[in-house]
Structure 1
Amino acid sequence: MSDIIKIYFSPSQTTRKVVGQVASNFSENVETYDLLTFSSEKEFSPSDIVIVGMPIFAGRIPKSGRERLSKLKGKSTKAIAIANYGNAHVTDALLELVDLLTENNFDVIAAATTVSHHSIFDGVAQGRPDSKDMEKINEFAEKCIEKIENGESLESEIPGNRPYTDYKQLPFVISCDESSCSFCYDCVSICPEKAIPEDDPIATDLDICSRCTACINICPEDARAFTGEAFEAKKPEFEKANSERKEVEIFL
């Protein structure tokens, strides 16, 4: 019997939402692997169906997400690849995700790029994925089910370049308002880079921080945020440049 395996790296929880929507179209049992917290090795069976979602960070899948995903192997296991982004640029991320899954012995049957509210610049893609997105995501899931039933693999060429674009370290500062912090240490435990000291949740080591937003998203007091001149200067420019709506793209 097949199991549906949800795998995602979702610091702002939007990629998780998209993967969950695709999975909701299947009737099989569902297992979940959240790569923010799961970093062990795992091999999936030939009968499993894996739905893998990754956010796009400056044209790449996140380095920590890639490292954790690379520990997950298939046995010609059917896989659906989803790259979720904030209405800016896909660049090489979907190609990189499909390549990595293929290298790890997954049989990629379909892929898609989806759009969600931007995790850093909150004026971009507000309210997305919206009902129109969800309709397209459900259509994508139905096409994936048809391909699985027909024993078909991915035929479309995935856009992107090899070698992939270089990883970029954003210059933005993440700070914590000590007067608002409840010292719950959720940010310490969720940070995939271990950039927040265990004994000081107010601090952030910006040299190793990937700006993934997990600490911002999990904070119950909204104490953590992007700040500083570089962020404030970039925000209006970025939001204006990426105001035109981009749509879900499907590759079968």
Structure 2
Amino acid sequence: MSKVISIFFSPSGTTKKVISKIAGNFKQEKETCDLLHFNDNKSFDEKDIAIVGMPVFAGRIPKTARERLSKLTGNNTKAIAVVNYGNAHVTDALLELVELLKENNFDVIAAASTISHHSIFDGVAVGRPDQDDVEKINGFAQKCIEKIESGESLQSEIPGNKPYVDYKQLPFTISCDESVCAFCYDCVSICPEKAIPDDDPVDTDLDLCSRCTACIHICEENARSFTGDAFETKKPAFEEANSERKEPEFYL
């Protein structure tokens, strides 16, 4: 019997939310592969259906997410590729994801770029995905189901360029307010880069940190945040430049 496997890297939880919406349209047994926590080799059956979601970091899928996804292989496994971004730019991320899945023997049948509340600049895409987004995402999922039943592969051309845009390291500082921190060590456990020392959750190695925001979003005390002149200077300009609503795009 076929399974629907939701595969995602979702530091702020928004990409997971989109993938869960798509998966909810399928009747098959569900399985989850959370790449924030899973970092091992795994293969999938020809009868499986993989729904793969990645956030967009400066026009690319995150480097660590790419490394972990590269360990997953299909057996002509049907796949739906989704990149989720904060209303700024997709750039090469969707093309990169589609190409990587094909290289790993997945049969990509459809692809999409969806919009969620920006994980760093919280004034961008507030409330997204909203009801209109969800209706479009569900409509896309139904078309994917029809396409899987027909046996067709992806026909649309995916936007993007090769070679992909270079990875960028954002200059923003992540700080922890020691007076608020509960020393629960959840941030230490969730950090995919191991940038927070096991013995000092207040510290962050900014050379290792990818600014993925996992530590910020898991902190129930709101002790961790972006700070510093670089962030405070960039925030208003970025939010103004990306205030116009973008819509999800679907490729079949």
TM (norm. structure 2) is 1.00
Code of the aligned partner of 2:246: K
1:205 is aligned to 2:190: no
1:136, CA displacement in angstroms? 0.4
Q: CA deviation at 1:220?
A: 1.1
Aligned to 1:96: 96
Distance in 1 of aligned mates of 2:191 and 2:8: 15
Aligned to 2:51: 51
Task: Supply the distance in 2 between the matched residues of 1:132 and 1:65 (Cα, whole angstroms).
Answer: 28
Q: How many residues align?
A: 252
**AA of the residue aligned to 2:96:** E
Give the corresponding residue for 2:222.
Answer: 222
What do you get for the CA RMSD once the two structures are aligned?
Answer: 0.3
In 2, the alpha carbon distance for the partners of 1:24 and 1:182 equals: 35
Tell me how far apart the structure 1 counterparts of residues 97 and 140 of structure 2 sit (CA, whole Å): 17
Q: 2:15 corresponds to which letter in structure 1?
A: T
Structure 2 Cα separation of the partners of residues 230 and 138 of structure 1:
39
Amino acid in structure 2 at the alignment position of 1:3: K
Structure-2 separation of matches of 1:15 and 1:53: 6
**What residue in structure 2 maps to residue 62 of structure 1?**
62
CA distance in 2, matches of 1:11, 1:138: 23
Look up the SS of the partner of 1:164 in the other structure: coil
The amino acid across from 1:205 in the alignment is D
SS in 1 for 2:16: helix
Secondary structure of the corresponding residue to residue 143 of structure 2: helix
CA deviations on 1:61-117 (whole Å, 9 max, x unpaired) are 000100000000000000000000000000000000000000000000000000000
Equivalent residue letter for 1:38: F
**TM-score (structure 1 length as normaliser):** 1.00
* Paired position in structure 2 for 1:231: 231
Q: Could you list the runs of 5+ residues in structure 2 that have no partner in the other structure?
A: none
Q: Secondary structure at the match of 1:65?
A: helix
Q: Which amino acid aligns with 2:156?
A: S
Q: CA deviation at 1:22?
A: 0.1
**SS in structure 2 of the partner of residue 97 of structure 1:** helix
Residue 102 of structure 2 aligns with an amino acid whose one-letter code is T
SS in 2 for 1:110: strand
